[in-house]
Amino acid sequence: MPGIFGAGNVGAGLTNIAAPSLLLALGWRGEKLVYASVLGVMGVLFILPAKSDPQSATRQARQVPMKEQLAPLAEMRVWRFSLYYFFVFGVFVALALRLPHYLMQVFGLSPAAAGMVASLYTVPASLFRILGGWLSDRDGARKVMYWTVDTGVV
């Protein structure tokens, strides 16, 4: 399904909602145990139905020289798109992580309230990544990225 890859960042919003409440209810150790348990369960749920990659033996048999692996770095577009990604996605991640602290320090919100308000940014922003992926599949990634940056959507 086109664009669905970006939905993975909804977890940042859900963390903004859940983590402060868990912290208040269970303390920091209890919160970490809950997250570790969920991570462990998800790991098991992933491993059980997962199958071996049928092409892994072929790839492992062919030793790719380091020079060949680094060859894409000679292209300017690789560096340009890495920079775009750094600014666009990096800003999202940085703001998602810092926003609850900022709201608590500047506006005096409780951790739970700051998490809820921060989720009003992270969840919609993550869901819009689905739309962005769909538009990129339809119209081309460069066109959508330039439109996003030029219009100040980011």
Distance in angstroms (rounded) separating the CA atoms of residues 99 and 121: 9
Q: What is the pTM of this model?
A: 0.64
pLDDT, tens digit, 9 for 90 and up, residues 90-149: 888 888 889 989 999 999 999 889 988 988 888 888 888 888 888 988 998 888 888 877
| Sign of the dihedral through C-alpha 84, 87, 89, 90 | positive
Q: Which of 110, 154, 125 is nearest to 12 (CA)?
A: 125
- The ranges assigned to domains in the chain are 4-47+76-151
pLDDT, tens digit, 9 for 90 and up, residues 53-106: 888 878 777 888 899 999 999 999 899 888 888 887 888 888 888 998 999 999
The set of residues, in sequence order, having a beta carbon less than 8 Å from that of 20 and lying 6+ positions away, is: 100, 110, 111, 112, 114, 115
